[in-house]
């Protein structure tokens, strides 16, 4: 596997210069490989992981998850509608699911009302959307692999041990 | 009459030197809070995987707070038997050929106390883990060091063994892959050692605690070689592969009469290993292999990083085939291993362990543990480079 991709997957939060040292490449080579991965649309971009329980990080945003049932179309299945829904700025992530509904849509809005009106005015009125079920997130315990509260205790390893 | 309490300390204990690691520990402790990066640890930086910790919590919730059989929980011994057969190609009966101990350290102590008569000669390779020599001495045996060398990647050779052998030698202690060198033996080297052990009728005590952390090639246990199972006691545990150092859980497998002898000492001293730790160990064997592979991959990449950097800096370093230790040669700096370690600690705040702590053959080397984050390793190597290049040393 491409060593830079490997480090993106499980290298924690290394900077490109640290990745270079770990992989035994120059920083320019790492950047070159990142560009190549971008071209291949494997690596899409960097995003910070924030603890949204801090007001400063949440910036007043409200987050919701919407279960959406849609009508599959001949020739394209769910793709056209899923793509159309994904294009809204309010939508952060959109997944096709197995089970009781078709799409799981993660949305973000400036207020509860804004998310609600996105659902009622934009999402549910799209032709082919059969139903929506909206859940608002109350509290986050783990965000993209990071435990928010009560993570591991600070390491108390001895400095020198046999 | 003297009232100095020292007079009550047994002679062979009083004569035992304190571990060289202890002195260095004190030195590092003085610099607490000054941004020291320690490559001096001897344990994983990973926390025990959650599913293992959760199994221990569940065991407590179900009220598992009692003693277990002296040999350990039978379910755990069955799981150990299956694991050892699958990973080391040697079969042991759960009923009478396996004993669960308080870490491999206890298993080592039990073996020494159960097998060594006063004055018996015991061979061990050196540099080696700090407690080998003292364990033999505490059992009133005579330890014979067999040197291993950087030119052999610190693998033990049958030639060195033959050269060090003395008439009457009874036992050979192996630790492959080795703490502190990361050296290990391939199958052909082990076959030569096995042949020598059969020729000289040696009992073998093989501590393979780092076997899962073998990076190049596959690990072979000497116990699996023809004619060896009946003269070998195999020691293993959960500390390194499953990141469970603090749980203190290990085991010994071997011929029933030898395990029975170890059990006698164990039942009158430790009685049994903690049941909570045994339950956690059972979970580790049942579902922990994916975590082991993930951790091994991380250690492998870290090894490549530090070995490459040490050699770039000018500290000749063989590539350790296993464990999470690099053992670079610092003689090129013109400093002794102790002066190097102390200078590096004081000037650049990086802690490594002087090789002499692991025996005379560790002279000229330091042990650097790479079980720490990439960020810390990169920074530690940069500081070491500065130290080596600076005129201040």
Complex ipTM value: 0.73
pTM of the prediction? 0.89
Alpha-carbon distance B239 to nearest alpha carbon in chain A (angstroms): 13
Low-confidence ranges of chain B (pLDDT < 70): 391-393
Does position A11 have pLDDT exceeding 80, yes or no?
Answer: no
Residues of B in contact with A160 (CB under 8 A): 21, 24-25, 28, 38, 40-41, 351, 353
In chain A, which residue's Cα lies nearest the Cα of B357?
A162
Q: What is the CATH number of domain B5-47+291-389?
A: 3.90.1150.10
B158: left (phi over 0), alpha (psi -120 to 50) or beta: alpha
Residue B47 forms contact with A (CB below 8 Å)? yes
Contact: A160, B24; criterion CB under 8 Å: yes
Neighbouring C-alpha atoms within 13 Å toward the C-beta of B181: 32
Query: What pLDDT is stored for residue B2 in this prediction?
Result: 77
Instruction: Answer whether B40 sits within 8 Å of A24, measured CB to CB.
Output: no
Determine how β-strand B203-207 pairs with β-strand B169-175.
Answer: parallel
Rounded Cα gap, residues B128 and B114, in angstroms: 22
B18 touching chain A per CB within 8 A: no
Domain spans of chain B, in order of start: 5-47+291-389, 50-288
Q: Which residues pair with B124 in a beta bridge?
A: B145, B173
Backbone phi, then psi, for B190, in 5-degree steps? -65, -35
Interchain contact B328–A (C-beta under 8 A): no
**A9 contacts in chain B (CB < 8 Å):** none
Residues of chain A neighbouring B19 (CB-CB closer than 8 A): 162
Distance CA A115, CA A110 (A): 8
Give A161's contacts in chain B (Cβ within 8 Å): 21, 40-43
B146-151's contacts with Cβ under 8 Å and 24+ in sequence apart are B147/B361, B148/B178, B148/B181, B148/B183, B148/B361, B149/B361, B150/B316, B150/B318, B150/B327, B150/B329, B150/B365
List of chain A residues whose C-beta atoms are within 8 Å of the C-beta of residue B41: 157-161
Q: Are the Cβ atoms of A160 and B374 closer than 8 angstroms?
A: no
Give the Cα-Cα-Cα angle B220, B222, B223 (nearest 5 degrees).
Answer: 110
**Architecture in CATH for domain B50-288:** 3-Layer(aba) Sandwich (3.40)
pLDDT (0 to 100) of residue B391: 62
- A14, A22, A161: residue with CB nearest B41: A161
DSSP B244: -
CATH of A55-139, one of 3.30.830.10, 3.30.70.920, 1.10.340.30, 3.40.50.1400: 3.30.70.920
Q: Does B24 touch chain A (CB under 8 A)?
A: yes
pLDDT tens string A96-141? 999 999 999 999 999 999 999 999 999 999 999 999 999 999 999 9
Q: How far apart are CA A52 and CA A106, in angstroms?
A: 15
pLDDT for A150 equals 67
- Strands A129-136 and A62-70, by their bridges, are antiparallel
């Amino acid at each position: 596997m491409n060593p830079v991709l490997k480090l993106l997957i499980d290298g924690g939060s290394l900077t490109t210069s640290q990745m270079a040292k770990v992989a035994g490449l120059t920083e320019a080579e790492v950047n070159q490989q990142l560009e190549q991965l971008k071209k291949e649309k494997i690596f899409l971009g960097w995003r910070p992981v924030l603890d949204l329980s801090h007001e400063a990080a949440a910036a007043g945003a409200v987050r919701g998850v919407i279960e959406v049932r849609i009508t599959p179309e001949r020739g394209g299945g769910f793709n056209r509608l899923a793509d159309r829904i994904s294009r809204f700025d309010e939508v952060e992530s959109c997944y096709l699911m197995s089970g009781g509904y078709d799409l799981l849509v993660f949305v973000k809005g400036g207020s509860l009302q804004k998310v609600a009106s996105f659902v009622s005015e934009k999402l549910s009125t799209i032709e082919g959307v059969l139903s929506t079920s909206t859940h608002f997130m109350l509290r986050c315990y783990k965000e993209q692999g990071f435990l928010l509260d009560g993570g591991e205790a600070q390491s108390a390893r001895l400095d020198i041990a046999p | 009459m003297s009232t100095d309490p020292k007079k009550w300390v047994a002679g062979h204990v009083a004569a035992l030197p304190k571990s060289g690691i202890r002195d260095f520990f004190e030195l590092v402790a003085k610099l607490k809070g000054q941004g020291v990066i320690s490559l001096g640890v001897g344990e994983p930086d990973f926390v025990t995987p959650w599913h293992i910790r959760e199994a221990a919590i569940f065991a407590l919730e179900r009220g598992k707070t009692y003693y277990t059989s002296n040999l350990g929980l039978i379910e755990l011994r069955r799981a150990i038997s299956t694991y050892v057969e699958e990973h080391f190609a040697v079969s042991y009966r759960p009923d009478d050929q396996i004993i669960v101990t308080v870490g491999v350290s206890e298993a080592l102590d039990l073996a020494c106390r159960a097998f060594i008569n006063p004055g018996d000669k015991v061979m061990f390779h050196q540099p080696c883990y700090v407690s080998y020599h003292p364990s033999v001495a505490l059992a009133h045996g005579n330890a014979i060091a067999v040197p291993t060398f950087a030119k052999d990647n610190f693998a033990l050779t049958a030639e060195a063994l033959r050269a060090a052998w003395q008439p009457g030698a009874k036992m050979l202690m192996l630790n492959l892959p080795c703490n502190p060198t990361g050296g290990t033996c391939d199958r052909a080297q082990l076959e030569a050692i096995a042949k020598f052990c059969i020729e000289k009728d040696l009992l073998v005590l093989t501590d393979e605690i780092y076997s899962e952390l073998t990076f190049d090639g596959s690990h072979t246990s000497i116990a699996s070689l023809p004619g060896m199972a009946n003269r070998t006691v195999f020691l293993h545990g959960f500390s390194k592969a499953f990141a469970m150092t603090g749980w203190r859980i290990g085991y010994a497998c071997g011929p029933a009469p030898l395990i029975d002898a170890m059990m006698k000492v164990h039942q009158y001293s430790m009685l049994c290993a903690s049941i909570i730790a045994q339950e956690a160990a059972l979970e580790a064997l049942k579902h922990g292999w994916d975590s082991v592979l993930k951790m091994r991959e991380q250690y492998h990449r870290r090894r490549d990083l530090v070995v490459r950097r040490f050699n770039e800096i000018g500290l000749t370093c063989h590539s350790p085939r296993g464990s999470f230790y690099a053992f670079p040669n610092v003689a090129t700096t013109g400093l002794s291993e102790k002066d190097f370690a102390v200078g590096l600690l004081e000037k650049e705040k990086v802690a490594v362990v002087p090789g002499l702590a692991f025996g005379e053959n560790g002279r000229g080397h330091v042990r650097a543990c790479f079980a720490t984050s990439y960020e810390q390793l990169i920074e530690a190597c940069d500081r070491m480079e500065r130290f080596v290049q600076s005129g201040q040393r």
